[in-house]
Amino acid sequence: MGSIMDYLYFPGCTLYTKAKNLDQTARNCSLLLGFELKELPNWTCCGATFPLATDNIMALLPPSRILARARQEGTTLTTLCAICFNVIKRTNRLIQNDGEKREKINNFIEMNYQGDLRVLHYLEILKQEIGFPQIKERVRKPLAGLKAAAYYGCMLLRPFDEMGFDDKERPTLFEEFLEAMGAEPVDFPYKIECCGSFQSVGSPEVATECGYKILGSAIKNGAEVVVSTCPMCTFNIDHKQSDIKQKYLDFKSIPVLYFTQLLGMAMGLDYQTLGFEQNFVDPLPLLKEKGFI
């Protein structure tokens, strides 16, 4: 398969540390699918929140700078982390639509960016640019019989009119992806609920409760594994399972995987390159039981 095109790639802070498994698997999968993630040179933090106070221009500067620099390198920017995606995409839209703020931002960062970059999540590239049927053809080891719960969280979907990712209440894109891998998507009511996000810093016990409800709902609906796109969600629903267990003694842990780990596994990458050692709940017993590794 020849090169479809290369995409500018903004990894974001956590993909270089606690979520290396997301970063690395995505890069490797891209190569198998015939495109390359071209990492932005000199990227900075996106700020990790889109400022909701309308007068907070300062917080728009980091994502604006990322966008402006990316535009010098190409036309399409992709991210994996749902929060980075949300912040960068919303900032891009704001620069497109708000002339006054655009001028202020450009004056401050001393660049001239007009908002003419396409910002796509990696899943969107898989669906729109490559196509799920085409990916299905590349699957070497279908994840047959794996009951996987697609957990969207908030940032991919909301606000709907700005993100335009999928239906805001009943999204299906992620399930379609899992089907292409040969897995059995499990529908569960908490798939678009918040994981507690940064409350894991402000009120950790509240985030623990959010994680418990999401996982409990997935398990109740038959999930064997929960699939995530976001290092923030993954911390709250994977790493915080130790906190959940402390509070709810009968809670049975469930592995949480990044969607790119599943993609890599289905496309036949060696499981030892998929970074499972960074997942808090060890998925290997389940994957062995299913005969995938």
Partner 1 sequence: MKIELTRQKVHNEFAKKVELISGQNLFACYQCGNCTAGCPVAFAMEVGPHEVIRYTLLGLEEEALGVNTFWLCASCLQCTSRCPKGIDIARVMDALRMVILRKKDRKDHIQISEFQEGFLERVPQIAFISGFRKFLS
Residue ranges that bind partner 1, judged by CB under 8 A = 12-14, 17-19, 45, 47-49, 51-56, 59, 81, 83, 154, 158-160, 168, 192-194, 196-203, 205-207, 209-210, 213, 231-232, 235, 239
**What is the smallest separation between the CB atom of 170 and partner 1, expressed in angstroms?**
13
Question: Is 72 or 203 the residue whose CB approaches partner 1 more closely?
Answer: 203
Residue with smaller CB distance to partner 1, 169 or 250: 169
User: At its nearest, how many Å lie between partner 1 and the CB of residue 58?
Assistant: 10
Closer residue to partner 1, CB minimum distance, 99 or 133: 99
Rounded Cα–Cα distance for residues 104 and 287 (Å): 52
Q: Which residues of 166-180 are buried (b: 16+ CB within 10 A; e: fewer)?
A: beeeebebbbbbbbb
Shorter beta-carbon distance to partner 1: residue 92 or 271? 92
Full DSSP string of 15-82: GGTTTHHHHHHHHHHHHHHT--EEEPTT-----SS---STT--GGGHHHHHHHHHHHHH-SEEEESSH
Which residues lie below 8 Å from residue 17, measured CB to CB, with a gap of 6+?
none
Phi first, then psi, for residue 117 (nearest 5°) are -115, 145
Strand 147-150 versus strand 225-228 pairing type: parallel
Taking the complex as a whole, the smallest distance from the CB of residue 169 to partner 1 amounts, in Å, to 8
Report the distance separating Cα 219 and Cα 116, nearest Å.
Answer: 43
Q: Which is nearer to partner 1, 3 or 54 (CB)?
A: 54
- Least gap, CB of 207 to partner 1 (angstroms): 8
Give me the least distance between CB of 193 and partner 1, in Å please.
5
